[in-house]
Amino acid sequence: MNRQVDLSVHRRRSLFLWAVFCATAGIVFLAYALTSLANGHGEFVMPLDDVYIHFQYAKQIASGQFYVYNPGLPPTSGATSFLYPYVLAAGYLAGFQGLNLGLWAMSVGAVAVAVSMWLVYRLVWMMGTARWLAVVLALAFGVSGPVVWHFMSGMETGLVILLTLWTFYEVVATQTVIGGHVQQGGYALNAMPLLACTLLALVRPEGGLLAIVAVGALWLLGRRDGNLEKDGDGAKRKIRPLWMIIPIMALGVQPLVNWLMTGSAVASGNSAKSVFGAVPFVWGEVIRRVLENLGRMWVEFATGISPREGTYIAPLLLVVGLLGLVRLVWDRRLRPVGLMVMLWFLGGTLMIATLDTSFWHFKRYQMPFMALLFPLAGIGIGVLISGNKHLGKLKYGGLTPFLSRLHRNLSTQDSLRLAAAGVIGLWIVVIAGLTAVRFLGYYGLNVSYVYLQPLQMARWLEANTPSNAVVAVHDVGMMRYMGGRTTLDVVGLTTAGAADYWRNGPGAVAEFLLGKHPDYIASYGEGHGLGLGLIAETSIYGEALASFPVELDDNANVALAANFQGIYKPDWKLINTSIPEQRSILKYVDRILDSQGTLRDVVNVADIAGEREHDYHWKNDSDLSGFPTLVRQLNYVDCGSTSCTVVDGGRQINGEETFQILEGASLDGGEGNDVLLITRVNPSAEGTLDIYIAGRSGSEKLVATRWIPSSPGQWVEIPTLIPSEFVTNNLPMKIRIVPHLTDGVYEPYMHAVLVGHYRPEKLPVDNPLATFQNGAIQLESAIIDFKPSDTALSINLKWFTDGSAQGDYKVFVHVYSDVNQPPVAQTDERPGNGALPPGNWLPGVLRDTITVNLQGILPGRYTVAIGMYDPVTFERSQPTGGDADGRLFIGEVTITE
Average pLDDT of the segment spanning 209-220: 88
The proportion of the chain whose per-residue pLDDT surpasses 70, expressed as a percent, equals: 88
- pLDDT tens-place string over residues 82-108: 999 999 999 999 999 999 999 999 999
The C-alpha R_g of the chain, in whole angstroms, comes to 36
Instruction: State which H helix or E strand residue 4 sits in.
Output: none
Question: In this predicted structure, what is the pLDDT of residue 275?
Answer: 84
Q: How confident is the model at residue 817 (pLDDT cuts 50, 70, 90)?
A: very high
Three-class DSSP category at 118: helix
Closest to 523 in 3D by CA, of 625, 453, 607, 587: 453
- Residue 73 DSSP code: S
What are the phi and psi torsion angles at 756 (to 5°)? 175, -160
Specify whether the CB–CB gap between 195 and 250 falls below 8 A.
Answer: no
pLDDT tens digit string along 831-886?
998 899 999 999 999 999 999 999 989 999 999 999 999 998 999 999 999 999 99
pLDDT band at residue 414 under the 50/70/90 scheme: low
Provide the angle, in degrees to the nearest 10, between the axes of the packed helices 205-225 and 335-353: 170
Q: Given pLDDT bands bounded at 50, 70 and 90, which one contains residue 766?
A: confident
CA distance 247 to 213: 10
- Give the residue from 160, 309, 557, 378 showing the smallest Cα distance to 300: 309
Going by C-alpha positions, the residue among 567, 345, 539 that lies closest to residue 464 is: 567
* Between residues 582 and 392, the one the model is more confident about: 582
Contact 868, 772 (CB under 8 A): yes
The predicted pLDDT at position 86 comes to 96
Tell me, what's the pLDDT at 424? 80
Provide the pLDDT for residue 238. 55
Whole-angstrom distance, CA of residue 489 vs CA of residue 57: 14
The CA-atom distances, in angstroms, between 380 and each of 7, 133, 389 are 28, 11, 16
> How many CB atoms are located within 10 Å of the residue 226 CB?
12
Contact (CB, 8 A) for 618 and 651: yes
What one-character DSSP code corresponds to residue 731?
P
Residue 516 predicted with pLDDT over 70:
yes
Q: Which residues pair with 306 in a beta bridge?
A: 310
Q: What is the pLDDT of residues 780-789, one digit of tens each?
A: 999 998 887 7
Q: Using pLDDT thresholds of 50, 70 and 90, give the confidence band for residue 415.
A: low
CA dist 218 to 23, 162, 205, 327, 347, Å? 34, 19, 20, 18, 18
What is residue 712's predicted lDDT score, i.e. its pLDDT?
Answer: 85
Handedness of CA 607, 613, 614, 616 (dihedral sign): positive
pLDDT given at position 696: 63
* CB atoms inside a 10 Å sphere around CB 698: 7
Q: What pLDDT, on a 0 to 100 scale, did the predictor assign at position 119?
A: 96
Q: Between these two residues, 197 and 224, which has the higher pLDDT value?
A: 197
* Chain segment 609-663, per-residue pLDDT in tens: 999 999 999 999 888 888 899 999 999 988 766 678 899 999 999 999 999 998 8
Report the alpha-carbon distance of residue 682 to residue 45 in Å, rounded.
46
Best CA proximity match to 386, nearest among 409, 413, 411:
411
* Cα distance between residue 475 and residue 522, in whole Å: 9
pLDDT in tens, 282-292: 888 899 999 99
Give the model's pLDDT for residue 440: 97
For residue 591, name the pLDDT band (cuts at 50, 70, 90). confident
| Cα 158 to Cα 47: distance, rounded to the nearest angstrom | 14
SS3 of the chain: helix, strand, coil, percent, to 5:
45, 20, 35
Indicate the DSSP class of residue 762. P
Out of 28-37, 233-242, 631-640, which region has the weakest mean confidence (pLDDT)?
233-242
| pLDDT tens for each residue of 170-185 | 998 887 554 444 444 4
Least confident of 141-155, 318-332, 504-518: 318-332
Residues 350-383 have pLDDT tens digits of 999 999 889 999 999 999 999 999 999 999 888 7
| 328/128 Cα distance (integer angstroms) | 12
- Confidence bin at 192 (pLDDT 50/70/90): confident
User: How many other C-beta atoms can be found within 10 angstroms of the C-beta atom of residue 452?
Assistant: 20
Residues 207 and 84 sit within 8 Å (Cβ to Cβ) = no
Q: What's the pLDDT at 396?
A: 41
Could you tell me which residue, 769 or 5, shows the higher pLDDT? 769
Average pLDDT, the chain: 87
For residue 398, what pLDDT band results from cuts at 50, 70 and 90?
Answer: very low
Indicate the residue type of 12: R
CA distance 362 to 232: 49
DSSP sequence for 606-658? T-HHHHHHTT-EEE-SS--SS-SEEEEEEEESSB-SS--EEEEEEE-BSSEEE
Sort 727 into a burial class: Cβ within 10 Å, 0-12 / 13-18 / 19+: buried
Start-to-end C-alpha separation, the chain:
118
User: What is the tens place of the pLDDT at every residue in 738-765?
Assistant: 999 988 899 999 999 998 888 888 876 6
pLDDT computed for residue 179 by the predictor: 44
Count of Cβ atoms closer than 10 Å to residue 270 Cβ: 18
pLDDT at res. 239: 56
User: Looking at residues 299-308, what average pLDDT do you find?
Assistant: 93
Does 10 score more than 80 pLDDT? Answer: no
Of residues 851 and 425, which shows the higher confidence score? 851
Q: Alpha-carbon distance 753 to 678, whole Å?
A: 6
- For the CA atoms of 15, 17, 23, 27, what is the dihedral angle to 10 degrees? -160
Strand partners, 782: 797
Return the half-sphere exposure (C-beta side, CA atoms, 13 A cut-off) of residue 329.
15
Question: Could you report the per-residue pLDDT of 527-543, keeping only the tens digit for each?
Answer: 787 789 999 999 999 99
Write down the number of H helices and E strands in the chain: 28, 29
For residue 698, give the DSSP letter.
-
SS3 at position 856: coil
Q: How far is CA 624 from CA 158, 385, 412, in A?
A: 40, 56, 64
CB under 8 A, 24+ apart: contacts of 587-590 = 587/846, 587/847, 588/676, 588/719, 588/842, 589/676, 589/678, 589/754
* Local structure of 367: helix, strand or coil: helix
The answer to whether residue 4 scores a pLDDT higher than 60 is: no
> Which strand ranges, in their side-by-side order, compose the sheet holding 687-694?
617-619, 656-661, 733-741, 687-694, 700-708
Mean pLDDT value of segment 20-29: 96
